Amino acid sequence: MASTRPAVRPIASRSVVEQVTDELRRSILSGALAPGQEYSLRELAGMLDVSFIPVREALRSLESEGLVHTRPGRSVRVAPLGLADLQGIYRLRRTIEPEVARRSCALLADETLDALDAEAAGFGDAAHGMADIYEDHHAFHLALLAPAATAWDIRVLTTLWHASERYIRIGFGQLDPDPDEHRRRGQAHVDLVAAFRTRDPDTVAAAIEQHLARNEQIALAALTPDEQDAQARPGA
């Protein structure tokens, strides 16, 4: 007798834990839950209008991502921002992204580059701040690297991009009121696409490294002056 079980199962609605995890992650990355701030599970559950259980499960996932530090006694601290952390993130990005880009530039279709060129120009729209375009910005960079990226490349880079997001949102957010910054932001991404169009690995790698260096300098604005000067102090 033939089975009546459907070959494709319907998609279940997202669990409360998934929703809580996504909302807490969004709030941390946007700065709504401030770096270094401590919260009780009761506070977080009250903000989200849920019970302790999904909050506790969500925090376990977020701790594995380095976004929070859980403490005994049902409290959690949002991971602080720090110079060593920022430098480590960009050191790893500079190791991985230019190398993948070298291989990807020969594999990207002209049609893909045309679409990315149009998207890049949109990043210069003064009506949209970094918080508005961040997801599209993430997808843009992934599309440039995807043809040559392995599943592990994407997994590691996604972790690094999320880790740098708090710094990027704060640093670039401080520049959002300046219309010239929006134009520069759009042009910087148009220039990246132009570099990939050359199909020259050295040109592409240099463009990626320059882009990362500029972003790291802007991300430094997310830190206090004392944190920025930490590397100059003895023992730093």
Mind listing the pLDDT tens digit of every residue in the chain (236 residues)?
Answer: 455 555 664 545 578 999 999 999 888 887 889 889 999 999 999 999 999 899 999 999 999 888 899 887 779 999 998 999 999 999 999 999 999 999 999 999 999 999 999 999 888 787 776 677 778 888 999 999 999 999 999 999 988 988 888 888 888 878 878 888 888 988 999 999 999 999 999 999 999 999 999 999 988 888 866 665 554 454 44
In a domain, 3, yes or no: no
Give this prediction's pTM: 0.76
Q: Do the Cβ atoms of 123 and 134 come closer than 8 Å?
A: no
Can you list the pairs that 154-161 forms with residues at least 24 positions away whose Cβ atoms lie under 8 Å?
Answer: 156/92, 156/96, 157/93, 157/96, 157/97, 157/100, 159/65, 160/89, 160/92, 160/93, 160/96
What pLDDT does 234 receive? 46
Q: Strands of 68-71's sheet, edge to edge?
A: 38-40, 75-78, 68-71
Q: Note whether 62 and 170 are same-domain residues.
A: no
Q: Note whether 45 and 104 are same-domain residues.
A: no
In a domain, 89, yes or no: yes
Report the amino acid identity of residue 19.
Q
In a domain, 111, yes or no: yes
Where a domain ends, among 52, 78, 104? 78
Q: Note whether 110 and 49 are same-domain residues.
A: no
Q: Note whether 88 and 186 are same-domain residues.
A: yes
Q: Note whether 92 and 61 are same-domain residues.
A: no
**Count of domains for the chain:** 2
In a domain, 10, yes or no: no
In a domain, 232, yes or no: no
Q: Note whether 63 and 89 are same-domain residues.
A: no
Q: Note whether 58 and 169 are same-domain residues.
A: no
Q: Do the Cβ atoms of 200 and 208 come closer than 8 Å?
A: no
Chain centre distance of CA 98? 17
Range(s) of the domain holding residue 42? 16-78
In a domain, 235, yes or no: no
Task: Report the half-sphere exposure of 89 (CA within 13 A, side-chain side).
Answer: 26
In a domain, 66, yes or no: yes
CATH number for the domain that contains residue 175: 1.20.120.530
Where a domain ends, among 61, 78, 95? 78
Q: Note whether 126 and 219 are same-domain residues.
A: yes
Q: Note whether 97 and 26 are same-domain residues.
A: no
